[in-house]
C-alpha cells in the first residue's frame, strides 16, 4: 500500500496529482461508476471507478466550475461558476463537453448546490442572501427565499422531502423546510446550546444516508452533529483548522461512520452508530495530502472513499465495509 490509516483499516489504492491547483468539489455518480472533480483553474476531471485508466479532462476555463453535483444521469453535471463576474449555474454534458442549460438568478457567488434524490428539483444558496429552488428541466427559478444571512449552505435530506438551510454562522441555527410548504417557513430549527456568540461560519451541511443525522461544518474546525428527529446536538467534533480552510466531511453509506478532513492533510473517522458519540476520533488516515482536505466523498455502490486537496486519493478497505458498502 502507498499509505494506510493508523489502525490499518484502509489504505490508499491510487493517487492522482493535480498540483498546484486546489480541488474545490467532487462527486460520485449515483451508479458509482464515475467520479468527478473540479479544480480552481477550471479543470473538470472524470474518473472511471471500474477500470484503472487516466481521467478524462474537460476544460471549463471561461466560467470556471465549483460546487459540482451529478444529476440523475452519469454524464450530466451541475455546477456553479468560479468567476467573480459570473454567478450562474450550468449543467454540462461530460460526454461531449456541451453546456445543456444555464440557470441565472443569483446576484453574487453561489456557495452551495444540492439535487433532490427523488425529483428533478435542485436548490442553491449564495452570498446574495438568497436560497433559490429550480427544476433541472427549466432555466426559470421556481421559488425564492430572501432575507437570510450569507453564505447559505443547503442540503436535501435522503427522502427529498426536506431541505436544510444554514446561513452565516452556526449561531443563527439550521432551518429545516418541508419542500411542499416552503411558504410556511421552517418547521424546525436546530441550534447549538450556548450564549449566542459566533462559533464559526458554516461551510457545509451533510445528511447521513439514513436521514437520522445532520452534520454542520464550520470554518473554525468545529463541526456539529445533530440528531434530526429530536433536534438535539449529539456531539461537537473538532479538527485542526487554524487558517479557516475549506474542509470536507461525509458519512459512510450505512451511516455508521463519519469522515472529516483537516487542515494538516489528515482524515479522521468517528463511530456514529450509537446513541452517544465520542469527541475523540477512532482513527486517523494519513495519506498523500499536502494541504487541507477540502473534499471527501463515499462511493454509493462500492467500498471506496475519495478525498482531495490538490491531489485526489482513492482509499480502499483492508477489511470489508469501511465505507459502509459490502
pLDDT at 17: 87
pLDDT given for residue 275 in this prediction: 92
| Residue 171 DSSP SS3 | helix
Q: Strands 98-103, 89-93: parallel, antiparallel or unpaired by DSSP?
A: antiparallel
> 201 CB contacts (<8 Å, ≥6 apart)?
151, 168, 169, 170, 218, 219, 220, 244
| Average pLDDT along the chain | 92
Is the dihedral angle over the CA atoms 161, 156, 173, 216 positive or is it negative? Answer: positive
The answer to whether residues 251 and 213 touch, using CB atoms and an 8 Å cutoff, is yes
What's the pLDDT at 211? 98
Euclidean distance between the first and final Cα of the chain, in Å? 21
Provide the 10 A C-beta neighbour count for residue 81: 23
Confidence of residue 5 (pLDDT cuts 50, 70, 90): low
pLDDT at 198: 57
d(CA 194, CA 205): 20
DSSP state of 30: T
Residue 135: the pLDDT is 98
Residue pLDDT, tens place only, 104-129: 999 999 999 999 999 999 999 999 99
Per-residue model confidence as pLDDT tens digits over 64-102: 999 999 999 999 999 999 999 999 999 999 999 999 999
Which grid cell is 322? 469501511
Q: Given pLDDT bands bounded at 50, 70 and 90, which one contains residue 323? A: low
Closest CA to 61 of 83, 80, 91, 36: 83
φ and ψ of 118, to 5 deg:
-120, 0
pLDDT of residue 197: 60
Q: What is the pLDDT of residues 266-299, one digit of tens each?
A: 999 999 999 999 999 999 998 789 899 999 999 9
Inter-CA distances, 91 with 57, 69, 100, 130, Å: 17, 9, 5, 20
| pLDDT at site 152 | 93
% helix / strand / coil in the chain, to the nearest 5? 0, 50, 50
Amino acid at each position: 500500500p502507498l499509505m494506510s490509516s493508523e489502525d490499518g483499516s484502509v489504505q490508499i489504492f491510487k493517487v492522482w496529482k493535480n498540483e498546484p491547483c486546489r480541488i474545490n468539489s467532487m462527486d460520485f455518480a449515483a451508479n458509482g461508476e464515475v467520479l468527478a472533480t473540479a479544480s480552481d483553474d477550471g479543470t473538470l476531471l472524470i474518473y472511471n471507478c471500474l477500470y484503472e485508466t487516466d481521467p478524462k479532462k474537460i476544460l471549463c476555463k471561461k466560467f470556471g466550475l465549483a460546487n459540482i453535483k451529478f444529476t440523475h444521469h452519469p454524464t450530466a453535471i451541475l455546477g456553479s461558476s468560479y468567476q467573480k463576474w459570473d454567478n450562474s449555474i450550468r449543467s454540462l454534458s461530460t460526454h461531449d463537453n456541451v453546456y445543456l442549460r444555464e440557470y441565472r438568478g443569483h446576484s453574487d457567488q453561489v456557495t452551495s448546490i444540492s439535487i433532490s434524490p427523488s425529483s428533478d428539483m435542485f436548490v442553491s444558496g449564495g452570498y446574495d442572501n438568497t436560497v433559490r429552488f429550480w427544476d433541472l428541466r427549466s432555466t426559470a427559478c421556481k421559488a425564492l427565499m430572501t432575507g437570510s444571512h450569507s453564505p447559505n449552505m443547503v442540503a436535501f435530506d435522503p427522502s427529498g422531502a426536506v431541505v436544510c438551510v444554514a446561513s452565516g454562522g452556526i449561531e443563527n441555527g439550521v432551518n429545516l423546510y418541508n419542500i411542499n410548504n416552503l411558504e410556511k417557513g421552517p418547521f424546525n430549527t436546530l441550534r447549538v446550546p450556548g450564549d449566542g456568540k459566533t462559533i464559526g461560519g458554516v461551510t457545509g451541511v451533510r445528511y447521513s444516508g439514513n436521514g437520522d443525522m445532520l452534520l454542520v461544518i464550520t470554518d473554525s474546525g468545529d463541526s456539529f452533529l445533530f440528531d434530526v428527529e429530536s433536534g438535539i446536538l449529539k456531539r461537537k467534533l473538532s479538527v485542526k483548522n487554524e487558517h479557516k480552510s475549506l474542509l470536507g466531511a461525509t458519512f459512510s453509506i450505512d451511516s455508521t461512520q463519519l469522515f472529516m478532513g483537516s487542515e494538516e492533510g489528515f482524515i479522521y473517522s468517528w463511530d456514529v452508530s450509537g446513541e452517544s458519540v465520542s469527541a475523540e476520533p477512532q482513527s486517523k488516515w494519513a495519506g498523500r495530502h499536502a494541504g487541507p482536505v477540502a473534499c471527501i466523498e463515499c462511493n454509493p455502490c462500492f467500498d471506496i472513499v475519495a478525498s482531495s486537496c490538490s491531489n485526489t486519493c482513492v482509499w480502499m478497505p483492508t477489511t470489508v465495509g469501511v465505507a459502509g458498502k459490502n
